[in-house]
Amino acid sequence: MLLPGFSGSQPNTCNPCFTLPREAETHVSRAAKSAAASLRTEHLAQPAIKKYPVSYENRCLDAPIRQVNPAALQAVASPRIVELAKAKAPSAQCSPDRSPMWPVSAAAKHAVATPRLEELCQPPKRAPTYFVQFNPDAFTVKESAKKAFCSERLKELAQPIKR
C-alpha cells in the first residue's frame, strides 16, 4: 500500500544519447559459401607429426635418455680444446675473499660518539596522543590570521566556475 503523495521508487532512466550496440552487418558471398579448400590447405591444416616421442620409457635409471653414438663415447679432446676448457685465472689486481670474521681494531674499541651524533640518535619528541586528541587550542584563530587580507588574484581563483 502506498502512502498518499508517494509514487514509489523509480529506476534511473538511460541517457537519451545512449544506443545499444548493433550487430556488425556482414554479407557472405555465395562463392565463399561454396568454396572448397585445396589439397595443400588441407595438408597444412593437419597436425604436425613429431619424429621423436615427447616422453621416454625408463628402462634403467642409469641408461641415457637417448642413445649416444659409440664414436662420441671414444672421442678424445685435442690439447687446444683442453686449453680452452680451463677456467680463467683471477686477475693480479684481484684480492682474495676476506674472512667473514676479523679482529676489531683498538681504535674502534675506544671510539667515543660526538655530542652531535648523540643528539641525532635521540628519537623525535612528540606530544602525547591524549593531548593531541583533546587540544583546547585546536579551534582558536591566531591574531595574524585575523589581520590577513586576500589578494585580487586569490579572489578570482576562489570564484566557482560557471558552467
User: Has residue 110 got a pLDDT over 90?
Assistant: yes
- For 41-58, write each residue's pLDDT tens digit: 999 999 888 776 666 565
Question: Region 8-35: what's the mean pLDDT?
Answer: 84
Bigger pLDDT: 92 vs 114: 114
- For 65-100, write each residue's pLDDT tens digit: 778 888 988 999 999 999 999 998 888 888 888 888
Q: What is the DSSP string of the chain?
A: -PPTT-----PPPPPTT--PPPPP-----HHHHT----HHHHHHHSPPPPSS-SS---S-TTS-SSPPPHHHHT----HHHHHHHSPPPPPTTPPPPPPS--PPPHHHHT----HHHHHHHSPPP---HHHHHT-TTTTPPPHHHHT----HHHHHHHSPPP-
Predicted TM-score (pTM) of this structure: 0.22
For residue 55, what pLDDT is reported?
62
